Amino acid sequence: MNILYVASTLSRSGPTNQLYSLISCLNKRKYKATVLTLSPEKKDSRWHDFEDIGVKVVSLNMNRIEAFFRARSAIKKYLKELSIDILHTQGIRADLLSYLLKDKVIKVSTAHNYPQLDFPLTYGKFVGRGMAHVQHISFSGMDKVFCVSRSVEENLNNKFKIFKTECILNGVKSLKKDCYSSTSYRKEFRTSLGLPQDSVIWIATGHLSERKNPLELISGFTAAFGDDPENILIMLGDGPLRKEVEKISSRSKNIKIVGRVKDVSKYLNVSNYFCSCSSAEGLPMAAIEAMSCGLPLLLSNIPPHLELLSLDETVGCSYAQGEIEDLKNNIMQLRKKDYSSVSVQCLNVYNKFLSDVEMAFQYGRSYELLQK
């Protein structure tokens, strides 16, 4: 079976990481994957990672306006030349192009978010609402829309009346690495960051934006621990709120803003807990990556987070978003749990439900059914 995956770019992000995990674990004797990107790649592109696993990657190298007028004919050419059976798109631009194509090919997409919530938060109310409408139209032309969580699927069913859907939970490659989690590496890495060797590290790896709510996390953490050096909050990532985050965190000696890093696994493997105060997610890849390293979760109570915790309620705690006192209380509650048993259960849940192998198996099975 020949599958053409289309995305805007392969810049390092949750959807790109999910696509990489999917393709890397598909049965290569049954499925031949080609990846097509619409625009020039950025510095943080994962292009070579896809090539390293034997995937053909091509780019149209078009800007947004150029792609709207010329990309369809280019995609049609690849559909014919590669004898494509399934066109799998992700992202609003790729989805719209798929919708506009009239070729007889099975069209599928992966929904990663709540369009009516995510787009306005990211692009502003006016533009965001328009984008949500375009996304709705694009999904309506798909033979199947894969949803990365049950809550995302329910949103498409209830809000957009899109019913050709299937939930396949996001899965990731385990980031747990013995070389990073060894005692000697932990000691060396913590020293390089100026961290006490015996401190408990809480880590957040999200974009520093309004949608990810980093300021709320800082407030809750400070309310729980003050300047206690035994508990350290490390925040990875960049974004429009970075200056404000740095300004507020500068008052606390136990909060470190690291910025964007290439290898998140180094930090996850030397950390103890994972935090996310996000106001909108599909199924949070960052939280799943943390679980693969055995990190208990502290999450806001948005539906995708609660869905993750529903797989096993012992793997973490949730708090009412916007309620700093509740955030503080749940931080303290999580801290009091038996760490070893919770950590082991995080690994068990990851292996059973959230691995890249399980996700790829589910997609492969659905591809087969779509061809029948």
Q: Could you tell me which of 13, 4, 8, 1 has the C-alpha nearest to residue 260?
A: 13
Say yes or no: do domains 2-171+355-371 and 178-353 share a fold. Answer: yes
Mean pLDDT for 14-26 is 94
What is the Rg, in whole angstroms, of the alpha carbon atoms belonging to the chain?
21
**Confidence bin at 181 (pLDDT 50/70/90):** low
Name the band, by pLDDT with cuts 50, 70 and 90, for residue 180: low
User: Which of the 8 DSSP states describes residue 239?
Assistant: -
Model confidence at 26: pLDDT above 90: yes
Q: Is 371 left (phi over 0), alpha (psi -120 to 50) or beta?
A: alpha
> Which region, left, alpha or beta, applies to residue 169 given φ > 0 means left and ψ of -120 to 50 means alpha?
beta
Superfamily name with CATH number, domain 178-353:
Glycogen Phosphorylase B; (3.40.50.2000)
Q: Of 116-120, 192-196, 237-241, which range is least confident?
A: 192-196
pLDDT tens digits, residue range 186-203?
888 888 877 888 899 999
Q: Give the amino acid at 169.
A: L
For residues 168 and 303, the answer to whether their CB atoms sit within 8 Å is no
3-state secondary structure at position 41: coil
Calculate mean pLDDT across residues 1-19: 94
Which residues neighbour 66 within 8 Å (Cβ) at sequence distance 6 or greater?
Answer: none
Provide the residue ranges of all domains of the chain, joining segments of one domain with +: 2-171+355-371, 178-353
SS3 letters for 247-302?
HHHCCCCCEEEEECCCCHHHHHHCCCEEEECCCCCCCCHHHHHHHHCCCCEEEECC
- Tell me the pTM: 0.84
CATH topology of domain 2-171+355-371: Rossmann fold (3.40.50)
